[in-house]
Structure 1
Amino acid sequence: MVTEVSQTFPDTSTRAARRRSKDGNRLWTGATALISLLLLAPIFSVFVAASGDGQGNWGHLVDTVLPRYVANTLILMLGVGGVTLIFGISSAWAVTRYDFPGRRFFEWALLLPAAIPAYLIAYTYTDFLEYAGPVQGLLRDIFGWQSARDYWFPEIRSMGGAMLVIGAVLYPYVYMMTRTAFLLTPGSLFEAGLLARRNLLFGIALPLARPAIIAGLALVMMETISDFGTVEYFAVRTLTLGIFNVWLGMNDLTAAAQIACFAFLFILALLAIELHARSRRRYSDTSKKAVPLKRLRARGVSLAGCLIACIAPIAVGFLLPVGVLLSFILRGYSLDVTPQVVDAGVNSLIVSGGTALLVIGVAGFLVFVSTYRGGPMLKRLAALSAVGYAFPGTILAIGVVTAAGALDSGAVAVLRDWLGFDFRGWFSSGVGLVLFACLVRFQAVGYGAISAGIQRLPPNLMNASRVLGHGFGASLRKVVLPLMRGSILAGGLLVFVDVMKELPMTLLLRPFNFETLATYVYQYAKDELLEQAAMPALMIVIAGIGPVMLMNAALRRLTRGS
């Protein structure tokens, strides 16, 4: 009997421990699934809003302006894609293939335009190149022209101007991915091309880097569709601007959601292209160690070509716009730090910092639980919750308003019955709505950074901690989080700067009399008073330089590790 009792007690305690473990696992996985569905709710809400009863404007839009929106969006995408390919590929090949004075400086300086929002370049170029600007004024003084009828000068506020300014800040996507592909291509493949007397750039490098180039180009196209500030300022009627105009101008959320669903087709096509490009990123090298191609010493024509390929993108995308902003400040137009500027700066810090904390917290929770406690389905759901980054801010704003309105109505009824108070508007207005929208939009940034970091950890690290007696939460806090500090910091900083530059969602969802640096600059530039907002605009640029340094450091680590 003693023996039977001694066998029974361990079995009972083991079953109880397993039951507690199973209940705890259900709690973790259930919370993860709930958060993932909450992040996906705004995307589903766009389609729900599009199916509602509108004001009958959809047919009118199809007959009048929708074809123009589609045509302009496609033309703008093609033009921006051409600019980014020229700037990105030529500069990537120059710093990879040739050795010339300043090469190491240009390697990271070519990423600087990524720190500037496209709408800031649009404002500065308009001031610099318009009829009353310094360029045309200098031409009239030199040649004695009296009016615009005496000469022809390209109009910057046009489709061509939008292609140039958007491409000038988005080419780092193509440059970064193309340069990485060039550096990771084994030198033996280039040597084989030399033996076959093939052109190394067009015959070897570009065909092998084509999947990476297409992937970078797909990201450029997505950002082009998302752009609002540039196309609004240049009066280029795209789908994004159409959503904004129909929603606020015609007060028709349903028709705006229908245009958003139409724009979603473009996003799906670009995502399919990007995924197809990634699936084909394969080649074989039978050598023991993949040694990159040895650089040539640039001289004469090749030196001049390298300098032009590197200086031109930096000058167009960074030096000139920053120079214009600095000139305004040095001339005393924007030296006073007014209470409005301070409030806008504080609001930007609140929104950017709050979103960064939310994104890192939510992304970390989803990644950790789906990796260590979830199955394949939970991992797919957690990854799918980060798809909001592929959607333009105007589209997500519609979804956030619709989802928050439904939650507000449901919560109002429940809380009023329980507590007797009316909570109407708590979920569908205020700064919290902006934070939630930015969380959905930039969840992919934090999720990607933390996912990449956790893949570098030993696979049995969590199991070893559990064997030593630590629970799941304690293992995360004491073991995993300290090792993930670098990835968490990098992801948070990237989110912080992205939100600092964000314009359309903040403009659409902000509370009354709530300005961030981006909306503050937009309001002044829209009234042709960019000089008064030069200092806040420069603050946005300075905030974006940190992630540029991070991107360059990541590229260096990647190429050294290869």
Structure 2
Amino acid sequence: MTSVSDLHLRKAKPRNGLRGLSVVAVCAALICALPMVAVGAAAFGGGTETVRHLINTVLGEYTRTTLVLVFLVAVGTFSIGVGAAWLVTMTRFPGVRVLEIALVLPLAFPAYVLAYAYTNVLDHPGIVQTTLRDVMGWGPRDYWFPDIRSLGGAALMLTLVLYPYVYLLARAAFLQQSGTTFLAARALGTTAWAAFFKVSLPLARPAIAGGVLLAVMETIADFGTVAYFGVQTFATGIYTSWFSLFDRTGAAQLALCLLSFALLLAMLERAQRGRAKYHDPARQAQRMPPICLNRGQALCAQVLCGVPVVFGALLPIVVLFTMGLGSEQNLLSPRYLGFIRNSLTLAGIAAIVTVGAAVAVGFFQRLSPGKLSRATGYVARLGYAVPGGVIAVGLMVPFAVFDNAVDAWMRATFDMSTGLLVTGSIWLLVAAYMVRFLAAALGAYEGGQAMVHANMDAAARSLGQTPIGTLRRVHLPILAPSLLTALLIVFVDVMKELPATLIMRPFNFDTLAVQAYRLASDERLDGAAVPSLVIVAMGLLPVILICRQVGRAR
């Protein structure tokens, strides 16, 4: 017979395991909240002189260019993503099966890599303008050619790599829609295009808006593209204030402005995701038969869907490969092997830490639903809306104060200097990556967690398993594919991340992204192509997984 003490022990074990899990989850959320709190404290604690100077000098320009860039990218990603998703989902034409997968490929490219490739092709010494001058006999001042290094050029680069966010979500929404309402609209005499605008597009609006908002958040977080093109946004202003002007207060105040905008977008995205729940994809409904296009329509569809793939993936790969062949960069040299080793080390450690934090937060929400777990999950997701430069400033300010305080105490007490214990270390950079990409890992983990029925948890608990035992023996084996996807996504995102790495990397610890940025800043584009190609090759791994899921969804 089971004694009362045995029953008490069985109840205590799950509570003890849950307590440890909750501590890990709450600590991860606190780390995610620290940059936002630190940026606010540093900005308000610096006085108003810097604020007035910013308002009188650069704040207006930063605001204008950031808003224009956001608007252009939002319109561009919406047009390409929604149009391509509708064509490959609701119509049939030759090559549609290939294009529906190929349209995801630009997601593997950082926008700054496309900027390097297209500058090499379209700039004044590039092959396009050189050929025009040779064929037409023009001089340098005899013709006008659009400048790729401009606000419009930056918007184009960002649009080409970010439209897959909208495409993937819009395509999923169109696949889940019932054909009944669309066919009813057609039966009432509306054309296919009118039915699309009046029926299909409104039904998919929450998913589309979510995709556009994700693209916008990536736009305001971008640094490499706008910095290389000389576009003055909040992201470039933060970096300039921190490193060029050595104005920490000004950088914090600019970061606070950008943080406020990013958090507003995060709330909009969350509201749109909440509205999307009203659309029930599990209901049984008539699948809409695809529209077979005639020869002329099929040609137009092939062009419309093929252009983003060609200019967003295929042409940049060819250009970068050609540039790399003509460079003097040797991937097998000890220096480049060091860049690769540093990149892989940071990406590997950050992926493991971030996915581990995601598992703790997600499992805590599952086992202990309540205000604390909900708040933990919400705060943990906010980092994705915060640009890397803001996170870097928000982490370096408090830890620099901590390091200086420890060093001063050690000098006064033991007459020895400790130097910088945390600031400038790999672990602080890994913490910044975790803050930035924890939301992505949480999304992948929770998508797989939905497959684990609650009865499995109850069965494990009835057999005496602690929460950690349930996680290790039940959840993790089932969630292995989702966890692998989360690891790959975070791994590649860290490989591409530039602003946080530039600001926080340890001394003499450069990565492939930093090397590509440095070479491009020195106008050595041929050399920048080599590390850029390696980054793109790494980015193709999760994109291939996404492409497989796209193919299965059909």
TM-score band by shorter chain is over 0.9
Contact 2:350 2:430 in 1 (8 A): yes
- Which residue number corresponds to residue 3 of structure 1? none
5 Å-filtered alignment, 1:322-333, equals 322-331=317-326, 333=328
- Aligned equivalent of 2:163: 171
Is 1:471 the counterpart of 2:463? The answer is no
Residues 411 and 287 (structure 1 numbering): CA distance in 2 closer, same or farther, change over 3 Å? closer
Q: How does 1:338-357 map to 2 (within 5 A)?
A: 338-357=333-352
Q: Indicate which of 262, 265, 284 corresponds to 2:257.
A: 262
Deviation at 1:428, TM superposition (A): 1.2
Deviations 1:172-214 (A, max 9, x none): 1111111111111111111111112222322222122122111
Among residues 296, 299, 316, which one is paired with 1:321 in the alignment? 316
Q: What does residue range 95-106 of structure 1 map to in structure 2 within 5 Å?
A: 95-106=88-99
Q: Contact conserved, 1:228 with 1:241, CA < 8 A, in 2?
A: yes
Q: Which residue, 521, 544, 552 being the options, matches 1:549?
A: 544
1:442 aligned residue:
437
1:453 aligns with 2:445: no
Kindly name which structure, 1 or 2, has the bigger radius of gyration based on alpha carbons: 1
The CA deviation string for residues 7-52 of structure 1, in whole angstroms up to 9 with x for no partner, is xx94455456655654554343334323321332122111111122
Distance 1:375 1:134, change over 3 A: same
1:112 equivalent in alignment to 2:102: no
* Counterpart in the other structure of 1:537: 532
Give the conservation status (yes or no) of the 8 Å contact 2:18–2:364.
no
Q: Which of 43, 66, 75 is 1:82 aligned to?
A: 75
Q: Deviations along 1:325-344, whole A, 9 cap, x unmatched? A: 11123446545632221111
Map residues 113-132 of structure 1 onto 2, 5 A cutoff: 113-132=106-125
Structure-to-structure mapping, 1:169-318, within 5 angstroms: 169-198=161-190, 199-281=194-276, 289-318=284-313
State the Cα distance separating 1:360 from its structure 2 match.
1.1
**What is the CA distance between 1:66 and its match in structure 2?**
0.2
CA contact (8 A) 1:334 1:534 kept: no
- Following superposition, the deviation at residue 80 of structure 1 comes to 1.2
CA distance in 1, matches of 2:280, 2:487: 37
Residue identity (%): 38
Q: Pick from 63, 66, 88: which aligns with 1:73?
A: 66
| TM-score after normalising by structure 1 | 0.92
Shift, 1:430, TM fit: 1.9
* Structure 1 position 152 matched with structure 2 position 144: yes
Report the more deviating stretch, 485-494 or 526-535.
526-535
Residues 18 and 467, structure 2, Cα contact 8 Å, conserved in 1: no
Distance 2:143 2:266 in 1: 45
Distance 2:244 2:279 in 1: 56
Residue aligning to 2:50: 57
Once the two structures are superposed, what CA deviation does each residue of 1:213-255 show, in whole Å capped at 9, x if it has no partner?
1111111111110110111111111111111111112111111
Shift of 1:287: 11
In structure 2, give the amino acid aligned to 1:84: T
- Deviates most, 334-343 or 202-211: 334-343
1:458-509 deviations in Å (ceiling 9; x for gaps): 1121221121133332222222211111111000000000000011100111
What displacement does 1:144 show?
1.0
Specify which of 94, 99, 111 is matched with residue 87 of structure 2.
94
User: Match of 1:517?
Assistant: 512
On the 8 A contact 1:328/1:534 being kept in 2, the answer is yes
Deviation at 1:288?
7.1
Deviates more, 1:268-277 or 1:75-84: 268-277
CA apart distance, 1:296:
2.1
TM-score normalised by structure 2 residue count: 0.93
For 1:280, what is the secondary structure of its paired residue?
A: helix
Cα RMSD (Å) of the superposition? Answer: 2.6
Q: What is the Cα deviation at residue 404 of structure 1?
A: 2.3
Deviations 1:503-560 (A, max 9, x none): 1100111112211110011111111112123222111111111211222333445x46
- CA deviation map 1:46-81 (0-9, x unaligned): 111112236932211101110010001011111111
TM-aligned CA deviation for residue 420 of structure 1: 9.9
For structure 1, list consecutive stretches of 5 or more residues without a partner in the other structure: 1-5
> 1:140 pairs with 106, 115, 133, which one?
133
- SS of 2:141's partner is helix
Deviations 1:105-127 (A, max 9, x none): 11111011110000011111111
In 1, the alpha carbon distance for the partners of 2:112 and 2:253 equals 26
| Contact 1:500 1:518 (C-alpha < 8 Å) held by counterparts | yes
Does structure 2 conserve the Cα–Cα contact (< 8 Å) formed by 1:29 and 1:370? Answer: no
Larger deviation: 16-25 or 389-398?
16-25
Determine the C-alpha separation between the residues in 1 that align with 2:525 and 2:341: 20
Q: Letter of the aligned partner of 1:553 in structure 2?
A: R
Aligned-residue offset at 1:386: 2.6
* Number of aligned residues: 551
